[in-house]
Structure 1
Amino acid sequence: MANAPIKLLIAASGTGGHLFPAIALAQKLPDYEIEWLGVPNRLETQLVPKQYLLHTIAVEGFQQGFGLSSIRILGKLISSILEVRRILKQGNFQGVFTTGGYIAGPAVIAARSLGLPVVFHESNALPGKVTRFFGPWCSAVALGFTEATKYLPRAKNVCVGTPVRSQFLDERFNTPLDFPIPDGAPLIVVFGGSQGAVAVNKLVRQSAQAWFDAGAYVVHLTGDRDPEADNLKHSQYIELPFYDNMAALLRRASLAISRSGAGSLTELAVCGTPAILIPYPFAAEDHQSYNADIFTKAGAALTFQQSELTAEILQTQVLNLLRSPDELAKMGEKAKAIAVPDSAEKLASLVREVLEM
């Protein structure tokens, strides 16, 4: 038993922003025995079971106000804590890692009630309410941005950046795009994160003709929830719900138009892609605006609030940047300066330090 691998339970659920950093960490711990904690019918049920044993619990986030639904959710939370305790005890786990969200609550409470260490990764510049509440309970809080430290004064903070998927760091993924885009043609890549962005999609379609007239191509990743998908047809317009090789796509891009979730920004930074950022206006506590502000202040991006952005403004701003290749190059360099390419290694080192001490 002395040589038995360390067992780690990873609690990460929901969006790519929560899942991809956790998967990147897991890949850096090949000697660990890793199992996963998720929620039914979320993205992890598609990504995780191919690599790790997935446990699911029925837990929800609390909404504003208190009512009958809150009592039901509280009941689910208590039940989930007991279920995670059972998983941890029966599996003889040595610790827990989580990337936040409402799954973090039962994971942290269950682990700490058993005396197990917890490492919490917070990718956003403004930590979420769950992070701010549970951070001081954890053995360490790993941060994507140093700016987050001021919101977590009682936590053991370590800035490590946010890990990206292996394709962004592996030379084998530096492959040509399988799109008919001429060499040297300006390429605008539009994406809204793993859930898409219908409002951004609409603005892009209204603006795109002027970009085509300027010789640009557009690869538009719409997500799978856009009722206007397939409405725009043009030889310089490529529309897909998703694209697997995002690393090659962002490296080829002249400019990206994106939401400002921490995962998307990390990918833009690693690839050195200049961007126009449109924070998701309904993100919790407007945290995407805090993320975007870091890139704007660094000169790596332009940021526009969705409520103030029109198709005319977007059209003009993109054309101005396409006509200024030197400015785009400077923005790309400043984006790369924000990146932490070895973030997964740093996070894995922190997890080892906490679990093996």
Structure 2
Amino acid sequence: MTETPTRLLVAASGTGGHLFPAIATADSLSDYHIEWLGVPDRLETQLVPQKYPIHTIAVGGFQGKPGLGTLMTGTRLATAILKARHLLKQGNFQGVFTTGGYIAAPAILAARSLRLPIILHESNALPGKVTRWLAPRCTQVAIGFAVAARYLPKAQTTVVGTPVRADFTNESEPLEFPIPDHAPLVVVLGGSQGAVAVNRLVRAAAPAWLEAGIWIVHLTGNLDPDAHSLQHPHYIAMPFYDHIAPLLKRANFAVSRAGAGTLTELAITKTPAILIPYPYAAEDHQTFNAKVFAQQGAAVLIQQQDLTPEQLQGKVLYLLGDSTGLNRMAEAAGSLAVVDSANRLAEVVRAVVV
């Protein structure tokens, strides 16, 4: 008699930072029956349906000062909890796994009301307010950075790293760009929302880099009106790029924001970096992430308000000219990588949702 597979509801929504770790973990649970819970018109509605059945519930986040908007968001949250509870009961799900986003709160609270096991993954060094509130209500909280545990004193935590897409750990496809093998390559990463301020700094510094024979691949995001203002045969600008693994494996250096997912990719590919945290991230959590890498010697942390084009230009040229120092940074980045993070997180799920 064939055993019925364990039914797991994955709740992950919003950005790649929430979705890619959830997808990687779900893919490591091939013996489970998995369905997805997300939010309409978010990235999951594009990435998930080809892999897993998806359900969506409209819910927003709590932002700004308390007022009418907060009351409306609270009402939507209560409605979302009831809908999630109905879905969990109707689908006979045996547990919930979430990596955050707006959908995390209703999924966790609905599962809690049904006394179902819950696993929450937190990728940032400084967990957000919602995570700090919900973590004690979860059966297990898996964390990407060990330092995050100090902010979750009432939760059961275990360090697993942050899962990445399979092409980072598998043999990835060749680089699509005609960059000579001997040429130094700098990759600029602004995160899923882009980074207009970083883009401006890079474009101002880039002429000196190009003159020095450096190639640049610049992922600008789609919010920069000046994205194509710099033209050069060795400067490649595009809003996004799907095949980031071979690009970072080829890169000698990166200039990047400090989202947890991007840092995980830099660690696995052993890519030294200058990290410029997004200054308006909630509770400045990108700075907390970047400090972990800077303290390890894997990256240089510079706050956006402290950085001029001349400083960025000189720092990159200096670091690329110091092969010994660059190798030390690469090895330090690699020491922060948890290559089997998806499998570790899957094992946490297996231990809790049976």
When the two structures are superposed, what TM-score results if normalisation uses the length of structure 2?
0.98
**How much does 1:197 deviate?**
1.2
Q: Tell me which residue corresponds to 1:213.
A: 211
Q: Is the 8 A contact 1:102 1:130 kept in 2?
A: no
What are the residue-to-residue correspondences of 1:130-279 with 2, within 5 Å? 130-171=130-171, 173=172, 175-279=173-277
What are the residue-to-residue correspondences of 1:1-357 with 2, within 5 Å? 3-171=3-171, 173=172, 175-356=173-354
The 3-state SS of whatever aligns with 1:314 is: helix
Tell me the percent identity. Answer: 61
**How much does 1:329 deviate?**
1.1
Q: Please give the alpha-carbon distance, in whole angstroms, between the structure 1 residues aligned to 2:306 and 2:169.
A: 36
**How much does 1:62 deviate?**
0.9
**How much does 1:2 deviate?**
7.0
**How much does 1:196 deviate?**
1.5
**How much does 1:94 deviate?**
0.4
Q: Please give the alpha-carbon distance, in whole angstroms, between the structure 2 residues aligned to 1:142 and 1:355.
A: 14
Q: Which amino acid aligns with 1:282?
A: Y
| Superposed CA offset, 1:57-91 (max 9, x none) | 11111113211111111110000000001110110
Moved more, 122-131 or 99-108: 99-108
**How much does 1:176 deviate?**
2.7
Supply the RMSD in Å over aligned alpha carbons. Answer: 1.0
Aligned length: 354
Moved more, 243-252 or 343-352: 243-252
Q: Please give the alpha-carbon distance, in whole angstroms, between the structure 1 residues aligned to 2:143 and 2:76.
A: 29
Where structure 1 has 5 or more consecutive residues not aligned to the other structure, the ranges are none
The 3-state SS of whatever aligns with 1:149 is: helix
The 3-state SS of whatever aligns with 1:77 is: helix
Q: Which amino acid aligns with 2:64?
A: Q
Q: Please give the alpha-carbon distance, in whole angstroms, between the structure 1 residues aligned to 2:306 and 2:137.
A: 40
The 3-state SS of whatever aligns with 1:99 is: strand
| Superposed CA offset, 1:9-35 (max 9, x none) | 111111111000000000100011111
**How much does 1:102 deviate?**
2.6
Q: Which amino acid aligns with 1:249?
A: L
Q: Which amino acid aligns with 2:120?
A: F
| Superposed CA offset, 1:79-120 (max 9, x none) | 000000111011000000111233211010000101111000
Q: Which amino acid aligns with 2:280?
A: F
Q: Please give the alpha-carbon distance, in whole angstroms, between the structure 1 residues aligned to 2:75 and 2:293.
A: 41
**How much does 1:237 deviate?**
0.3
| Superposed CA offset, 1:298-345 (max 9, x none) | 000001111111111111111111111221111001000000001111
Q: Please give the alpha-carbon distance, in whole angstroms, between the structure 1 residues aligned to 2:14 and 2:92.
A: 26
Q: Please give the alpha-carbon distance, in whole angstroms, between the structure 1 residues aligned to 2:151 and 2:203.
A: 38
**How much does 1:55 deviate?**
0.9
Q: Which amino acid aligns with 2:37?
A: L
Where structure 2 has 5 or more consecutive residues not aligned to the other structure, the ranges are none
Q: Is the 8 A contact 2:248 2:271 kept in 1?
A: yes
**How much does 1:131 deviate?**
1.0
Moved more, 2-11 or 304-313: 2-11
Question: After TM superposition, where is structure 1 displaced by more than 4 Å over at least 4 residues in a row?
Answer: none
Q: Is the 8 A contact 1:123 1:162 kept in 2?
A: yes
Q: Please give the alpha-carbon distance, in whole angstroms, between the structure 1 residues aligned to 2:342 and 2:235.
A: 35
Q: Is the 8 A contact 2:14 2:102 kept in 1?
A: no
Q: Please give the alpha-carbon distance, in whole angstroms, between the structure 2 residues aligned to 1:85 and 1:176.
A: 45
Q: Please give the alpha-carbon distance, in whole angstroms, between the structure 2 residues aligned to 1:64 and 1:176.
A: 45
Moved more, 238-247 or 155-164: 238-247
Q: Please give the alpha-carbon distance, in whole angstroms, between the structure 2 residues aligned to 1:66 and 1:135.
A: 23
Q: Please give the alpha-carbon distance, in whole angstroms, between the structure 2 residues aligned to 1:148 and 1:20.
A: 20
Q: 1:221 to 1:75 in 2, by over 3 A?
A: same
Q: Is the 8 A contact 1:101 1:130 kept in 2?
A: no
